[in-house]
Structure 1
Amino acid sequence: MNAKKLAYKPVGMVLGMVAGAAAGLIFKQVWKAVEGEQDAPNATDEDRRWGEILLAAALQGAIFAVVKAAVDRAGATSVRKVTGEWPA
């Protein structure tokens, strides 16, 4: 691993944590708007329907992926602005 990748590693880890927290908050709000409930169902919730559980999982996965990609891209773009090089 080269020095640039190693130097960016902690930045990427922090950005990942920020992305996860932001995605969790966004998902809670989206779920509340979609189903009118505070908490999304867990896969093992016996009283929940298959469709409800799969919808929650699909929304959560999509939101996490989009937020992570946006945060990663913004982080890489910021590093290039500061250093002049893309963190490959």
Structure 2
Amino acid sequence: MSRVVSRGASAVSGMLGGALAGAVFKQVWKFVSGKEDAPQATSDEYGWGEILVAAAIQGAIFGVVKAAIDRSAARGIHRATGK
């Protein structure tokens, strides 16, 4: 039973983490660049540099948010189930 709960919690935390990381990235990008939206990789109006910097920032933020949420979820499940 705890495996089912763990997988369900992992799925939910992954979705919430993705949404949270996206919101954080949008605010960071707005602060760093002064622009409302980050460049899309397929957009012709941005150069390689801006696209790659945006992707690197987005990846770093996503990684940190995912690790924090995964760690919190694992600790919560461990406290709740003892496993």
Under a length normalisation based on structure 1, what TM-score does the superposition of the two structures give? 0.89
Q: Distance in 1 between matches of 2:5 and 2:72?
A: 17
Aligned to 2:33: 35
Q: CA deviation at 1:32?
A: 0.4
Map 1:13-52 → 2, pairs under 5 A: 13-52=11-50
Deviates more, 1:60-69 or 1:4-13: 4-13
Residue 23 of structure 1 deviates from its aligned partner by 0.2
Listed one character per residue, the Cα deviations across residues 43-67 of structure 1 (whole Å, up to 9, x for unaligned) are 1110101110000000001111110
Mind listing any 5+ residue stretches in structure 1 that lack a counterpart? Answer: none
Matches within 5 A, 1:48-87: 48-85=46-83
Deviation above 6 Å: which 4+ runs of structure 1? none
Sequence identity percentage? 52
Aligned partner of residue 54 in structure 2, secondary structure = helix
Amino acid at match of 2:77: V
TM-score, normalising length: structure 2: 0.94
